[in-house]
Amino acid sequence: MTTATRSLIGFLLIVAAAFYLLLDKLMERVERQYMEAVEETMVDTVNLLGALAEQALWEEGDEFKSLGRMFDDAHRRVFEAKIYQVIKREVKMHAYITDAKGKVVFDSRRPSQVGQDFSNWRDVSLALQGKYGARSSRVVEENDDSSILYLAVPLRRDGQIMGSLTLVKPQDSVFAFRDETRKEILRNGTLALLGTGFAALLVSLWMSRPIRKLTDYARAVRRGERVKRPKLATPEMRTLGNALEEMRESLEDRKYVETYVQTLTHEMKSPVAAIRVASELLQEGDKVPLDKQQRFLDNICIETDRLQKIIDQLLVLAAIESQKALEDPSSLSLGDLVLRVCNNLEPSLQAKGIRLERDFDKDANQRLSICGEEFLLKTAIANLLQNAIDFSPTGATILVGLRQQDSEQGGMVALTIQNDGPEIPDYAVERVFERFYSLQHPDTGKKSSGLGLCFVREAAELHQGKASLRNREDGKGVVAELLLPTV
């Protein structure tokens, strides 16, 4: 599946989810809106009926007979009203009246309810208190569409509440309008979603076109064809095209090798110059005192050893940089490997009077197993520890920690080496893992080859891990971390 297809599917899923959430809220609001509109109309109606009922209270012997005849005539009327798409053929409203104690004295639909006590019903109870009474009840509890709305108003005579009148209306007729509105919203929303999907498809094809051009260009370069870089409109695509062009030039012109040679030449100038000067002075023979001759010889040995280290490290680094994957991986105990490296570097620790402390997880040697190449890992750990020694003052303490961690990629083991040396300057934090980049050692003022940490980074990446170097939070040193996946 292409990136464009994935992006399109992801976009459509997001739009569909947003559409669903919006539609759900809108559908809920539609029902509430209709209920509010119906209740507002019923409020007017119930107050009109309340006024008629209050007039009946003044007429002796009426006992709401005129109100009953009015409802009977209304229910018998034959009509057909087309309200948009809904046909209405009958009056579904009816009413009942209670006395001041909540006992039913009139019911336009169920005369058999006369005499029953409705005082505990919410609409009657509130109306008898002189308040606006409203309630909604379902005929069938599990069926939302069986809801019936009750609105009640108090009936007064000479300012005294003599009873209540409740207007009753089933909501099934209203739900017909609600359902029609929902269908319209769903229909238009679906069309909008389909239109959005089609527009997204066109945009996706338009945006993926330059990527396809770059893909064709890269394949042509791989086949050895001489092709020009395609013309691209957007700045991002131009940047990517420039990067591919630079990669092509690097491969064709062997810039990788050229950079290595130039940098190596630069690094070798200083020791070669020192050797040459010392050699020329030694050629003067007896003119040079013996103590100076010995010092010149020592300088030649030191610079020769430095050259040898640069060449050896460069060869090892070049070999690891050319690797695409581990050549001979095996299951290793990282704890055992760290202990062996610490033992090998014991002379360097003793020479500076540095104390080494370990902080390993319990049973770390048995549990923290990794899959990797022993030589690469051993060399990387040695480089990290030697770097900590070189930048630690005499008599300092180095803490080596080994912890198991959980991450999104699975189980990981973290090797940390913490020293008490100077902090890394801000300008160097992002460059310490660059090839040939080095800081001056606090003891000698000289720089190393700048290849050790670069090797650590390459080894970590080959093992699907990560290497980092950061200043301690307390500002008293540096922490190096090597993060590797466990078996």
CATH code for position 286:
1.10.287.130
**CA angle at 191 for the pair 190 and 194, rounded to the nearest 5°:** 85
Residue 217: inside a domain: no
* Residue 291 shares a structural domain with residue 402: no
Q: Torsions phi, psi of 120, nearest 5?
A: -85, -10
Residue at a domain's end among 130, 152, 179: 179
> What are the Cα distances from residue 306, in Å, to 221, 270, 272, 279, 471?
41, 10, 10, 16, 28
pLDDT of 322 reads 59
* Residue 80 shares a structural domain with residue 104: yes
* Residue 366 shares a structural domain with residue 401: yes
Domain of residue 348 covers: 330-485
Residue 244: inside a domain: no
pLDDT of 121 reads 92
CA 30 to chain centroid, in Å, comes to 34
* Residue 70 shares a structural domain with residue 170: yes
Residue 63: inside a domain: yes
For CA atoms 191, 192, 193, 199, give the dihedral sign.
positive
Whether 381 and 370 have beta carbons less than 8 Å apart is answered as no
Give DSSP secondary structure letters for 65-122.
HHHHHHHHHHHH----EEETTEEE-S---EEEEEETTSBEEEESS-GGGTT-B-TTSH
Partner residues linked to 400 by β-bridges: 358, 417
* Residue 435 shares a structural domain with residue 338: yes
pLDDT of 104 reads 92
Q: Which of 398, 383, 309, 303 is nearest to 352 (CA)?
A: 398
Question: CA 438, CA 431: separation in Å to the nearest integer?
Answer: 9
Residue 379: inside a domain: yes
CATH code for position 339:
3.30.565.10
Whether 168 and 95 have beta carbons less than 8 Å apart is answered as yes
Residue 287: inside a domain: yes
Residue 87: inside a domain: yes
CATH code for position 115:
3.30.450.20
Residue at a domain's end among 295, 322, 349: 322
* Residue 304 shares a structural domain with residue 397: no
Question: CA 381, CA 26: separation in Å to the nearest integer?
Answer: 62
* Residue 145 shares a structural domain with residue 100: yes
* Residue 306 shares a structural domain with residue 394: no
Residues of the chain where predicted confidence (pLDDT) is lower than 70: 1-5, 7-8, 31, 58-63, 207-208, 221-229, 232-234, 236-238, 240-271, 273-274, 278, 281, 284-288, 292-293, 303, 306-307, 309-324, 362-367, 407-410, 436, 442-450
pLDDT of 148 reads 87
* Residue 45 shares a structural domain with residue 172: yes
Q: Which of 355, 346, 425 is nearest to 396 (CA)?
A: 355
- Any idea how long the chain is? 487
The model's pTM is: 0.44
> What are the Cα distances from residue 131, in Å, to 40, 67, 123, 150, 218?
16, 23, 9, 14, 80
* Residue 274 shares a structural domain with residue 392: no
Residue 479: inside a domain: yes
* Residue 317 shares a structural domain with residue 346: no
* Total of domains in the chain: 3
pLDDT of 451 reads 73
CA 70 to chain centroid, in Å, comes to 67
Residue 368, classed as helix, strand or coil, is coil
* Residue 269 shares a structural domain with residue 120: no
> What are the Cα distances from residue 442, in Å, to 94, 161, 356, 391, 435?
98, 99, 19, 6, 21
pLDDT of 377 reads 86
- pLDDT tens per residue, range 189-237: 788 878 877 877 777 777 667 777 777 777 776 665 545 667 766 676 6
Question: CA 19, CA 13: separation in Å to the nearest integer?
Answer: 10
pLDDT of 316 reads 64
Residue 250: inside a domain: no
- Crossing angle of helices 172-222/3-58, nearest 10°? 170
Residue at a domain's end among 117, 148, 179: 179
